[in-house]
Amino acid sequence: MRSLKRSPERGGRIGDGCSIGYRTQEGDPLEEAELGSERLPWALEVVAKRMQVGDVAEVVATGEHALADEETVADVEGLERRWRFEVATVAAGTCLDKFRLSVDERIAAADRLRERGNQMLKQGRLLRAGDYYERGSSFMDVIEAEDMGMPGGKKDAKAVANNRRIRECQKPILLNWALVLMRRKRWSEAERKCAEVILDIDSSCVKALFRRGQCQIQLGSLEDAKKDLQKARDLDASIADDVEKELVKLKRQQKALDQQDRGWAQKALKKGLADERSKPKQPTAQDEDDIDCKVKDSSKTRLMPETSAGTAGPVSHKEVLAAQEKAAAEAGVDDITYARQREAIYNQLLMGGRPE
């Protein structure tokens, strides 16, 4: 939007429900439309709310913003339109103000916007659908005071009933809004909309639990996702197959995270705890065919080797370790066997004796 002319007189706010007279080219006859109707292109609707009677602006719109709801085109993404937009008249008293509407009027307005959003969702126009759901939800964020300020916490029955109706109207709007955000891969925002339903309206809403679980998988909150998905399945057994598919995704995601964690741990060990024996050994042809980690009684690499004269071996732990190291070197044992021999010796030391 680029302003071409500003009216010297500033009038009232233009908003949803206002009937305006406008031109899209200089010298064209006036056209009339209601803001929020199917006739006016989305971009002009947005710009009109920022203008006053007598203002003129150059408007350039692309994609969904260039279309009116009643229009359909094959290539929405590549669409671009330009207008010289002038707001000439505004009908008095036609703007919808949620603070002045009754509960019935606000619910009716929200329902209309939800239905329009559903139409756009079916056509794959996700941005426009999300806009309708957001606007419909805004009519529901004004609730009535229930507490009457009397002893015993007595509540206003009429206010309680009205607020219940408001929440019932809000619930499908938030669920559909979450669905649009999920299709746009806006996982954090979608998760918040589902949470609004669960925390503020219905803690046992299966759709909200299932969709929040899907979002949490994408966000890496796998334990929370598992709880939501299992709770949704417990509440409605008919979605068991859908839940199982999501749990498969969850397990795949968990496996990927575990592998990543192992990689970090290996890097930490290499930097802080590694020695020469922890370095990977290039396998030989014999290693690939067979790795034998057993130590025979007749081998020179026994944990308690005898001396050449057949006398008893070393009696101190230090001598036992030295003898094992020497015998292992002479026999050319592999690292795995060496490590297991050492482990056996250390276990004996911890138990307070020498190897038998």
Question: Mean of the per-residue pLDDT values for the chain?
Answer: 83
Q: In degrees, to the nearest 5, what angle opens at C-alpha 48 toward C-alphas 44 and 51? A: 140
Give the residue-averaged pLDDT of 120-125.
95
Give the residue-averaged pLDDT of 282-287.
52
What does the pLDDT read at residue 352?
Answer: 58
Cα–Cα separations (whole angstroms), residue 267 to 121, 241, 261: 48, 40, 10
Closest by Cα among 257, 197, 255, 254 to 225: 254
d(CA 330, CA 328): 5
Using 50, 70 and 90 to split pLDDT, how confident is the model at 294?
A: very low
| Per-residue pLDDT at 170 exceeds 50 | yes
Residue showing tokens 């999501």: 246
| Per-residue pLDDT at 303 exceeds 60 | no
The per-residue pLDDT for range 247-262, each reduced to its tens digit, is 999 999 898 887 776 6
Share of the chain above pLDDT 70, in %: 79
Q: Which residues pair with 34 in a beta bridge?
A: 19
What does the pLDDT read at residue 120?
Answer: 96
| Per-residue pLDDT at 99 exceeds 90 | no
DSSP letter for each residue of 288-333: HH-------TTSTT-SSPPPTTS-----SHHHHHHHHHHHHHHHT-
201 or 312, which is more confident:
201
Residue 328: how many other CB atoms lie within 10 Å: 19
Give the residue-averaged pLDDT of 76-84.
92
The per-residue pLDDT for range 228-245, each reduced to its tens digit, is 999 999 999 999 999 999
Give the residue-averaged pLDDT of 282-308.
46
Closest by Cα among 142, 132, 134, 135 to 100: 142
Share of the chain above pLDDT 90, in %: 55
What does the pLDDT read at residue 268?
Answer: 62
